[in-house]
Amino acid sequence: MSLPNNTSFHLSTFLLLGIPGMEAIHTWISMPFCLGNFSILFIIRTDSNLHEPMYFFLCMLSVADLILSTTAMPKILSIFWFHDREIYFEACLVQVFLIHSLCSMASGFILAMAFDRYVAICNPLRHSIILAHRVIQNLGLVTIFCGVVLYTPQPFMLWWLSYCRANVIPHNYCEFMPLIKLACAETRICRTYSLTAAFFTGGLDLILILCSYVVILFTVFHLPSEAAQLKTMGTCGSHVCLILVAYTPVFLSFLTHRFGHHMAPHIHIFVAKIFVLIPPMVNPMTYGIRTKRIRECPLQLFTSHKL
């Protein structure tokens, strides 16, 4: 449905196109996306040896990833499998809020894990005191609170806008910037707020993570032996992989939006899909493969059940 540009109206539904130009392989594209976070939660819940600050924060990240995936995945699958592209305006706004706030929370939990690595390496004797259970709970609650508060205005901004273009979104889920492009009103304030909120979550989190690792590296390089240095840095390996998986798609998404005006539409869609769906899929594998205790737990459970 397209209307003249001078017609202002309030939409009741949007049409999500999926990946424009690649409709014929939508079903095959949907296959690789699966969730491994349930296994992480189950393993940490059942193994008391994993009841440590790093793994508590990993559980929080897994919950955020699960909700994030289930927020976007059902509609994406309905597009790919059943060609059901319609989504109600209100549901679209809820999806915008959940996706952005949960991405913010995931970034906050990764920052909390960086703080855990900083304390464990730079002040190991006070690790259990500084990161007591109450502190862990408070860090989790503050992260959730910031994600909710910073992104609550976004759906209201979109609700108050008038739309004078087609209700077709060349995307496979609702996102703030593509919706802004359909509005016929002035959107500078909305865009500025969105960029500011993104900086105060992902941008500031990444800066603090990098600062923590600068201090960690300074401490590690002052250890007496090379073996001790390698062993200490080995405890950060999974978290470093997590940082790369989480923030690389963010930079790719920013670069494609900023400089990729002449790119094919499906390139933008793939980058956006990576930003939302790849980290929840890869994070459990990162810790499952690199963390010995998580890797061995399913084998122990299977062996004990078999016996």
CATH code, domain with 110: 1.20.1070.10
Q: How confident is the model at residue 257 (pLDDT cuts 50, 70, 90)?
A: low
**What is the mean pLDDT of the segment spanning 19-40?**
52
Global pTM value: 0.81
Q: Is residue 225 domain-resident?
A: yes
Q: Is residue 201 domain-resident?
A: yes
Highest mean pLDDT among 11-15, 150-154, 258-262, 295-299: 150-154
Residue 273 reports pLDDT greater than 80:
no
- Domain range spanning residue 183? 13-301
Q: Is residue 223 domain-resident?
A: yes
19 compared with 48, residue with greater pLDDT = 48
151 compared with 14, residue with greater pLDDT = 151
Residue 162 reports pLDDT greater than 50:
yes
What is the model's pLDDT at position 225?
Answer: 87
Residue 9 reports pLDDT greater than 50:
no
Choose the weakest-confidence range: 183-192, 211-220, 291-300. 291-300
Predicted confidence (pLDDT) per residue in 79-90, tens digit: 666 666 777 888
The bridge status of strand 13-16 relative to strand 168-169 is parallel
Residue 260 reports pLDDT greater than 80:
no
Q: Is residue 149 domain-resident?
A: yes
Residue 262: C-alpha distances to residues 178, 256, 257, 266 (Å): 16, 9, 10, 12
Residue 156 reports pLDDT greater than 80:
yes
What is the model's pLDDT at position 302?
Answer: 54
268 compared with 45, residue with greater pLDDT = 45
Q: Is residue 259 domain-resident?
A: yes
Residue 142 reports pLDDT greater than 80:
yes
Q: How confident is the model at residue 26 (pLDDT cuts 50, 70, 90)?
A: very low
Predicted confidence (pLDDT) per residue in 218-252, tens digit: 999 988 888 888 888 888 888 998 899 888 887 87
State how many domains the chain has: 1
What is the model's pLDDT at position 8?
Answer: 47
Residue 199 reports pLDDT greater than 70:
yes
Choose the weakest-confidence range: 72-76, 121-125, 153-157, 174-178. 72-76
Q: Is residue 1 domain-resident?
A: no
Burial of 161 (0-12, 13-18, 19+ CB in 10 A): buried
**Amino acid making up residue 131:** L
Mean pLDDT (the chain) is 79
Give me the DSSP letters along the chain.
Answer: ----TT--B--SEEEE-SSTT-GGGHHHHHTT----HHHHHHHHHH-GGG-SHHHHHHHHHHHHHHHHHHHHHHHHHHHHHH---EEEHHHHHHHHHHHHHHHHHHHHHHHHHHHHHHHHHHSGGGHHHHT-HHHHHHHHHHHHHHHHHHHTHHHHHHHH--B-S-SEESSSS--HHHHHTTB-S--HHHHHHHHHHHIIIIIHHHHHHHHHHHHHHHHHTTSSSHHHHHHHHHTTHHHHHHHHHHHHHHHHHHHHHHH-TTS-HHHHHHHHHHHHHHHHHHHHHHHHHH-HHHHHHHHHHHHHHH-
Residue 31 reports pLDDT greater than 60:
no
What is the model's pLDDT at position 23?
Answer: 45
145 compared with 234, residue with greater pLDDT = 145
Q: Is residue 216 domain-resident?
A: yes
Q: Of 130, 102, 133, nearest to 116 (Cα)?
A: 130
Two structure tokens written together for 121: 């390496």
Residues 174 and 16 sit within 8 Å (Cβ to Cβ): yes
What is the model's pLDDT at position 200?
Answer: 87
Q: Is residue 306 domain-resident?
A: no
Q: How confident is the model at residue 69 (pLDDT cuts 50, 70, 90)?
A: confident
Q: How confident is the model at residue 286 (pLDDT cuts 50, 70, 90)?
A: confident
